[in-house]
Structures are given as C-alpha cells and as structure tokens.
Amino acid sequence: MESFIPISLDYTIGETAGLFINQFSKSYGITLSDVLIASAARKNALKLWTLNRKHYPMLENSDFWETDSLKD
C-alpha cells in the first residue's frame, strides 16, 4: 500500500462528478463512487485500471490503462 498516492477530493472534482452523475446515472446506473473516481482520474491526468469499463461511460478509451502494455 505504500506505493499508492492518495488523491484529495476537492471542489472541482466534486463539481465534475455532479455533472457526470446527472448525465449518466439514469441510463448507466452508475454510482457516486464511480463518478468520483472518474472525475479524480481525469483531473489528475491518471489512467484508470478497471475490468468494468461500463461504469465509466464518461471516459474515453484513452483514459484507461491498457493491460497489453504490461506484456513484455
């Protein structure tokens, strides 16, 4: 766990998360945690590593970590 860097949630992340949940919650069934994760990743220019991309319709394919890059 020491290799993880905590990310603080701030007003901008919360505001973006609010926009995401208003836009996607009914049609995709996403939760507050989904939109907070997506918003924090986007604000901090981080790629998301998940096996469940359907919870993140607000992100582009380029916003996800590609596991193929680990195969060397």
pLDDT digits (tens, 9 = 90+) for 31-60: 999 999 999 999 999 999 998 899 999 999
User: Is there a domain that residue 51 lies in?
Assistant: yes
User: Is there a domain that residue 42 lies in?
Assistant: yes
Domain count of the fold of the chain: 1
The predicted model gives 16-40 an average pLDDT of 94
User: Is there a domain that residue 67 lies in?
Assistant: no
User: Is there a domain that residue 71 lies in?
Assistant: no
Asked whether the whole model's pTM tops 0.85, one would answer: no
> Do residues 61 and 40 touch, judged by C-beta distance below 8 A?
no
User: Is there a domain that residue 28 lies in?
Assistant: yes
User: Is there a domain that residue 72 lies in?
Assistant: no
Residue ranges making up the domain that contains 18: 11-61
β-strand partners of 48: 64
Distance, in Å, from the CA atom of 25 to the CA atom of 22, rounded to the nearest integer, reads 6
